[in-house]
Amino acid sequence: MIDPRVASGLRDLLPAVMIPRERILRTFRETFASFGFVPIETPHIERMEVLTGKGAGSEEVLRQIFEVTNKGGTPGELALRFDLTVPLARFVARHIDEIGVPFKRYAVGSVFRGERPAKGRFREFVQCDFDTIGTDSRLADAETALVIYSALTAAEVPRFTIALNDRKILDGALEALGLDGKTGLVLRSLDKLNKIGRDGVHAELARPAEEGGAGLSEEQAAGILDFAEGGRGRTDVLDAAEARFGANERAARGIADLRAVARLLEAGGVPADRIAIDLGLARGLDYYTGVVFETTVDGWERFGSVASGGRYDNLASLFTPRRLPGVGASIGLDRLLALMEEAGALKGAGTAAPVLIANFPGTDPGVPMRLASALRKGGIGCEIYPEPIQVGKQMGYGTKHGHKLAVIVGPDEVAGETFNLRDLETRHEDRGLAWSVLEDSVRGALEVIEHRGASS
């Protein structure tokens, strides 16, 4: 027999996870749409040259690409997408005359990376992306962070913090320190600060270039790390950065842009204590050019960022000579779910329908079919137990799978056109209710249960 286990880094998802997962996805889609973002879809498989073009991603990401070879196909021609942003750039370049700019899109789908599996890190995972293409506006930058805040808040994610930086500040600081030729290497090392710590990043920065490091002196490496680690806090950290690097034109522009974004977020109603300036925040992908975001759940930072992104003004240049600046972010659904599950914040159930209709022994099965149809027409989900077994066992099934209520109709109830309504948590049962009040009775009982859960 074949072992039914899944490959390393992949997962089966049970209903107890899938049901809240679908609920969160609905919340995200509704949030994106409320800001004017429209849905698109791109293929899971892209041409390799699309995914590996200069600037599409860091060397580390590109090494994790899953190659796809169809029977009789050309090796190295196709690959699974590793994010939704590079396919977006290709999509926009191809369809720009149809969609126009500014263009605001969202997309939800699986992406694939051949990285080593770890807690909250998988080889296939779902990203929820939203992007604004065709504008340099700081308002679009700030709106990206506002969407992150709104979507996570609506999904009842535990308290989180959105860290902001602007790559121009880091680029300008490195330029002022005479390290502009090593920007990519330095930023990719800084991006690992939370993963491998100061000593690990210092070692990478000081390692000779021929050994894959940045080749910085001990003093340069320490200076960069001091700047990165000392630059986290409220907007006042920008004052210190301006005093040190404000003479550099690029750094000064980044500081001004970040201040503008912070002011707009305040105007948008994002609490100040949910925003942190982090001058060491780099983001590992090469295509970021301006503001960058990373969102972590307070106290659960070991899971890494659950929502991240930034501005990428040159990515579409891979596919078109037309300048198409963009800004966007991605919410990592599977990492977020893993975190919420471990934190006890995932409200799960084994069923998507709140009501179980009993299949009472000796009752014509057409009766539960009729009652279930009436409830569904009223917008109330319900499940009929398929077998006419002992009612107690049916109630046990309902409790186990997370049904809230059970509608029970035996031969006596059929004769009187009545039903019994049982609360499966408290076991309280209202008897002899008329079929004519079925929908109102069930709806009212569900509202009581919802209120009970909110106050507990």
* 400 is a domain residue: yes
**Tokens in use for 54?**
């200069």
My answer on whether 302 and 395 are in the same domain is: no
Tell me which of 291, 311, 342 is where a domain ends: 342
**One digit per residue, pLDDT tens: the chain, 456 residues?**
999 998 888 888 888 888 899 999 999 999 999 999 999 999 999 999 888 876 555 566 678 888 888 877 788 899 999 999 889 999 999 999 999 999 999 999 999 988 777 766 788 999 999 999 999 999 999 999 999 999 999 999 999 999 999 999 988 888 887 777 677 777 777 777 777 778 787 887 878 777 667 777 777 777 777 777 766 788 888 988 898 888 999 999 999 999 999 999 999 999 999 999 998 887 766 678 899 999 999 999 988 899 999 998 887 888 899 999 999 999 999 889 989 989 988 876 667 899 999 999 999 999 999 999 999 999 999 999 999 999 999 999 999 999 999 999 999 999 999 999 999 999 999 999 999 999 999 999 999 998 887 665
**Tokens in use for 405?**
């209520």
First and final C-alpha spacing in the chain: 48
My answer on whether 162 and 35 are in the same domain is: yes
In the block, tokens 């999509």 appear at: 91
* 1 is a domain residue: no
Tell me which of 342, 369, 398 is where a domain ends: 342
My answer on whether 380 and 422 are in the same domain is: yes
My answer on whether 386 and 416 are in the same domain is: yes
Three-state DSSP string of the chain:
CCCCCCCCCCCCCCHHHHHHHHHHHHHHHHHHHHCCCEECCCCCEEEHHHHHCCCCCCHHHHCCCCEECCCCCCCCCEEECCCCHHHHHHHHHHHHHHHCCCEEEEEEEEEECCCCCECCECCEEEEEEEEEECCCCHHHHHHHHHHHHHHHHHCCCCCEEEEEEEHHHHHHHHHHCCCHHHHHHHHHHHCCHHHHHHHHHHHHHHCCHHHCCCCCCHHHHHHHHHHHHHCEECCCHHHHHHHHHCCCHHHHHHHHHHHHHHHHHHHCCCCHHHEEEECCCCCCCCCCCCEEEEEEECCCHHHCCCEEEEEECCHHHHCCCCCCCEEEEEEEHHHHHHHHHHCCCCCCCCCCCCEEECCCCCCCCHHHHHHHHHHHHCCCCEEECCCCCCHHHHHHHHHHHCCCEEEECCHHHHHHCEEEEEECCCCCEEEEEEHHHHHHHHHHHHHHHHHHHHHC
Query: Residue 188 belongs to a domain with what CATH number?
Result: 3.30.930.10
* Number of domains present in the structure of the chain: 2
- Give the pLDDT score at 61: 66
My answer on whether 372 and 443 are in the same domain is: yes
* 9 is a domain residue: no
* 4 is a domain residue: no
My answer on whether 225 and 303 are in the same domain is: yes
My answer on whether 164 and 242 are in the same domain is: yes
Its domain, for residue 378, covers: 355-455
Query: Residue 395 belongs to a domain with what CATH number?
Result: 3.40.50.800
My answer on whether 96 and 234 are in the same domain is: yes
My answer on whether 140 and 263 are in the same domain is: yes
Q: What angle do CA 197, 225, 243 make, to 5 degrees?
A: 145
My answer on whether 47 and 161 are in the same domain is: yes
Tell me which of 321, 342, 363 is where a domain ends: 342
My answer on whether 284 and 378 are in the same domain is: no
User: Counting beta carbons within 10 angstroms of the beta carbon of residue 44, is it exposed (0 to 12), middle (13 to 18) or buried (19 or more)?
Assistant: middle
My answer on whether 255 and 376 are in the same domain is: no
* 349 is a domain residue: no
* 350 is a domain residue: no
* 366 is a domain residue: yes
* 3 is a domain residue: no
